[in-house]
Homo-oligomer: A and B are copies of this chain.
Amino acid sequence: MDNFVYNIPTIAYFGKGQINVLGETIKTHDGSKVLLAYGGGSIKRNGIYDATLEQLRKADLEHVELSGIKPNPRIESVQEGINLYRENNCDFILAVGGGSTLDACKAIAAGVKYDGPVTDLFVNESGVSDIAAAAPLATILTMAGTGSELDMGAVITVGEDHKKKVLMHPLLNPKFSILDPEYTYTVPEHHSMAGVADILCHLMEQYFTPEVHNTKVQDRMNEGVMKVVIEDAPKILADPQDYDARANIMWASSMALAGFQFMLGKPGFPFPLHGMGHELSSMYDMTHGHTLALLTPSWMRYTLLTAPEHLPVFARFARNVMDVQEADDAKAAEAGIKKLEVFYASIKMPASLRDADVKQEDLEVMAEKAVERGNLGILTSIGKEDALQIMEDAF
């Protein structure tokens, strides 16, 4: 096991009605004027906006609003937020929404404490951002998936070519996050299930690493969370107001990335599926979770083909997570991948890139851009030809 630092600076208030702690908890972080940020306005229809305002009022907290943060949030929204925060002398940021709103607010939190352009703060070669200070941030989560509510990362879209860039620093962890599973009741099925695919991918990307690292505690905990995701996602499809299923999926989302706890003790920080998936989102504005579900089985089979020495990890996944009963490793691994495909189909993920209206002639440029992000490999190194082959297999 490699050395590591375990650090989870975010406090989570989990459960029904936890919004009641909002005002007082902002005050414990010396907040008095809040930049309240949200997305497309669904929080106005489902009552979360009103509930938030009521809490701010009760605590005598002023606020200004940044609305209209879009999925795959853009740097322009971040800059707008930075300007609003400064012009209004805010001292606290409250993100109400899903991962996109949260990520935009993390970038705002870093940007308002930095004199230069916020784009300077994207991660450097060592995988972290050079951030010396950040405004205090809290979140009210309205969609489970990205794990941004308990982690230190943010993904921001930049430029004409919709490049997805990353910020990463412990100072970007929210001070606290309010996680009320009831707030996800009205998330449309499509987005709820894309969130599930995102959670599962975060778990898998931390899981599929060379067995030699011997990070058993992390891996066994990870397997447990994966099993719950696979078991409870269909319950949300059956009943979007199944509290326990919503709660389990929401907590799985948070646990998956809290302090990147399942990655600790392993070298590097590669997220191959996110690397390739971000290019699909960039070119087609495709739902993030869908891109991941589309690529994962192909990535698994390609890895097994090109790096068969890692077969034991895939066989372990099959047995411990997908409940495959099969003594032969190769057969177990393939059965595990097949069961994963069945799961993705059951939560209505698209079956192929073709089904998702991706054009085959675009694959090459996306593969090229994906590998420009740096090392995509966990078990193997993934170059352009590898990425292209994985995408072709998923087509």
Chain A residues in the interface with B (C-beta under 8 A): 1-8, 11-18, 181, 214, 216-225, 227-228, 231-232, 243-244, 247-248, 251-252, 254-255, 264-265
Contact = CB atoms under 8 A, between A and B. Distances in A.
- Identify which of A4, A16, A224 gathers the most chain B CB atoms within 10 Å of its CB: A224
A222 B17 CA distance: 27
Contact of A1 (B18, B217, B224, B244): B244
Contact of A248 (B181, B217, B243): B217
A218 B220 CA distance: 12
Nearest to A15: B3
Nearest to A222: B224
Given A1-B251, A3-B14, 11 more contacts: A1-B15, A3-B17, A5-B12, A5-B13, A6-B14, A14-B264, A14-B265, A214-B248, A216-B248, A217-B252, A221-B224
A220 to B, nearest CB: 3
Contacts of A1: 15, 181, 243-244, 247-248, 251
Contact of A255 (B13, B214, B221): B221
A216 B243 CA distance: 13
Contacts of A248: 1, 214, 216-217
A220 B216 contact: no
A174 to B, nearest CB: 12
Contacts of A220: 223-225, 227-228
Contacts of A214: 244, 247-248
Nearest to A4: B14
A4 B18 CA distance: 9
A11 B15 contact: no
Contacts of A252: 217
A8 B223 CA distance: 22
Contacts of A216: 228, 231-232, 244, 248
A118 B8 CA distance: 30
A67 to B, nearest CB: 29
Pairs of residues from A and B, 10 with the lowest C-beta to C-beta distance, nearest first: A3-B15, A220-B224, A6-B12, A214-B244, A221-B221, A1-B247, A221-B224, A216-B228, A224-B224, A7-B11
